[in-house]
Amino acid sequence: MAAGDRPGARAASAAAALHRRAIVIDGHSDILIPVTEGKMSLGDRVEVPDLDWEPPPGLANNPLVRFGMGAHTVWFGPMGQYDLPRWQEGGITAQLCAIYLDDDWLRDPVRRGFEMVWNLHDQIDRHDALVLATTAGDIRRAKEEGRVALVLAFEGCEALGTDPRFLDLYYRLGLRSASLTHTRRNIFADGCWAADRRGGLTALGKEAVRRMDDLGIVIDLVHIGEVGFSEILELTTRPVILSHTTPTMFPDTAPEAGDLLDGKLPRPRLELPRDRWMLEALAANGGVLGLIHVAHRDLDSVVRDIETALDVMGPDHIGLGSDHYGREMAPAGLEDISKVPRLTEELAARGHSDEVIVKFLGENYLRVFEEVWGG
């Protein structure tokens, strides 16, 4: 039997063909941070040095390095994990690109937010293979044309400053998905690591939720505290997403697993069975859970998380939520966004149907986007 006729080779070929046909949507990337810092262009394939790289003077004083994050990750972040060549290699149709402001930028958040938006538009203008997606039809057309659609998103609404009316301006510039918080407390709500973890939405937070519904901005439940999670689901009239998290991995009980940053860094987690109600509530809303890649050990660990979410929520409510951020926390076999076809191959090898796989790869997100944004 020739090598290409072996059952395993035929199965891998069928999985590759399925991946090429599918609309593939990834729910989260922080790649706008290094772009805005002037460290890279999305059109270039970025190669970062090995972990033994010598950091620039003064980086050891960075708060994140002192906190325990590696200097390599602090400096390069998601560089070398997302760019146009890698999106093309990974068969990615659409990538949600987040505006996230670290603490240093809270002194001038609106300016930084608009600067990041400007950079997104500038990159799209520079590269014909990139397109801004503001409707579900834009994503479908990107697939037909062999282009990569970028979706502007908020990871925390700090870029609004103190005025939810600025949602209208960002919407006109392409904003189509937003979470109220990152992990900290802000004027809209308590994030998931806020001091007492008990607060929900403020009056401004509720105003922002209602305005996002009115405009057609998908609400992202990522990083919100538990009270706010429930309050948003009560307020919204639309399906939502939870763009990047995991239902099983944290804390990881595998013998070879270690705590992330020696336990200093809380993880973007849901835990079973404690948080099963959150997954079930998200499914009841018609929403989608994006399964995260960062900080998993390997491809198999990511796939087991996908299967757990599938068991709890069903095939209509799971999607990609990679959130790659640095080589130090990249899973073996899934080091960057170009490796997503390996997920398709592994899911197919484990007996999941084509229908389930294409829903996971992008059709579930597309259903939510079509309902909230329009066709």
Structure confidence at residue 196 (pLDDT) = 58
Report the chain's mean pLDDT, rounded to a whole number.
Answer: 91
Entry pTM:
0.94
State how beta strands 218-219 and 148-155 pair. Answer: unpaired
Structure confidence at residue 63 (pLDDT) = 73
Average pLDDT of the residues in 280-293? 97
Q: Which two tokens stand for residue 254?
A: 């595998």
Q: Which two tokens stand for residue 212?
A: 């996002």
Structure confidence at residue 252 (pLDDT) = 47
* Tens-digit pLDDT profile for residues 193-247: 776 557 899 999 999 999 999 999 999 999 998 899 999 999 999 999 999 998 7
CB atoms within 10 A of CB 109: 19
Greater confidence (316 vs 269) lies with: 316
Average pLDDT of the residues in 279-285? 97
Asked whether the predicted pLDDT for residue 259 surpasses 80, the reply is: no
* Tens-digit pLDDT profile for residues 3-15: 455 667 888 999 9
Asked if 32 and 119 touch (Cβ cutoff 8 Å), the reply is yes
Please state which CATH class domain 19-373 belongs to. Answer: alpha beta
Structure confidence at residue 256 (pLDDT) = 46
Structure confidence at residue 4 (pLDDT) = 52
Spatial distance between the Cα atoms of 124 and 122, rounded to a whole number of angstroms: 5
Spatial distance between the Cα atoms of 185 and 11, rounded to a whole number of angstroms: 48
Least confident of 3-7, 69-73, 330-334, 344-348: 3-7
Spatial distance between the Cα atoms of 313 and 315, rounded to a whole number of angstroms: 7
CB atoms within 10 A of CB 362: 24
Asked whether the predicted pLDDT for residue 260 surpasses 60, the reply is: no
* Tens-digit pLDDT profile for residues 67-108: 678 899 999 999 999 999 999 999 999 999 999 998 888 999
Phi, psi of 109 (to 5 degrees): -70, -35
Domain boundaries, the chain: 19-373
Split at pLDDT 50, 70, 90, the class of 269 is: low
State how beta strands 130-132 and 25-26 pair. Answer: unpaired
Average pLDDT of the residues in 16-43? 98
State how beta strands 94-99 and 130-132 pair. Answer: unpaired
